[in-house]
Amino acid sequence: MDTDRFAGALLGVHVGDSLGATTEFTSRTQARRMLPANIDDAEIVGGGTFGWTAGAATDDTDLTLALVRAYLATDIGASDAVVEAAADHMLRWMQADPRDIGGTTSQGLRTYERSRDPFRSGVDHGRSQGNGSLMRTVPVALARAHDANRRAAEASALSAITHAHVVCRDACVVYCDLIAGLVIETFARDRETLRGLVASGAADPRSDPRVGAALDAAVDRPVGAVEGVNDAASGWVLTALGLTVAALLDERPAAEVLLEVVRLGGDADTNGAIVGGMLGARDGLSAWPDRWLAALEHHDELTMAARRFADR
CATH assignment at residue 276:
1.10.4080.10
User: pTM of the entire structure?
Assistant: 0.97
- Strand pairing partners for 52? 47
| Confidence (pLDDT) at 85 | 96
From the centroid of its chain, how far is CA 209?
21
For 156, residues 6+ apart whose C-beta sits below 8 A from its C-beta are 169, 170, 172, 173
Helix (H, G, I), strand (E, B) or coil at 166: helix
| Confidence (pLDDT) at 188 | 80
| Confidence (pLDDT) at 91 | 98
| Confidence (pLDDT) at 189 | 85
| Confidence (pLDDT) at 27 | 92
CA dist., res. 24 & res. 115, Å (int): 33
Number of domains in the chain: 1
- Strand pairing partners for 163? 123
For 278, residues 6+ apart whose C-beta sits below 8 A from its C-beta are 9, 12, 175, 178, 179, 182, 244, 247, 248
**Neighbour count for residue 250 (Cβ, 10 Å):** 21
Cα-based distances in Å from 305 to 33, 132, 197: 35, 22, 26
- Strand pairing partners for 236? 130
Range of the domain at 106: 4-310
CA dist., res. 296 & res. 290, Å (int): 10
| Confidence (pLDDT) at 74 | 82
Detail the DSSP E strand segments found in the chain.
none
**Neighbour count for residue 207 (Cβ, 10 Å):** 22
Helix (H, G, I), strand (E, B) or coil at 236: strand
For 277, residues 6+ apart whose C-beta sits below 8 A from its C-beta are 9, 10, 12, 13, 16, 138, 179
- pLDDT block averages, 10 residues each, the chain of length 312: 91 98 95 96 97 98 98 81 97 97 97 98 92 98 96 97 98 97 87 94 93 95 86 85 97 97 96 98 97 98 97 88
What are the tens digits of pLDDT across the range 95-117?
999 999 999 999 999 999 999 99
The 3-class SS string of 276-307 reads HHHHHHHHCHHHCCHHHHHCCCCHHHHHHHHH
- Strand pairing partners for 123? 163
| Confidence (pLDDT) at 233 | 66
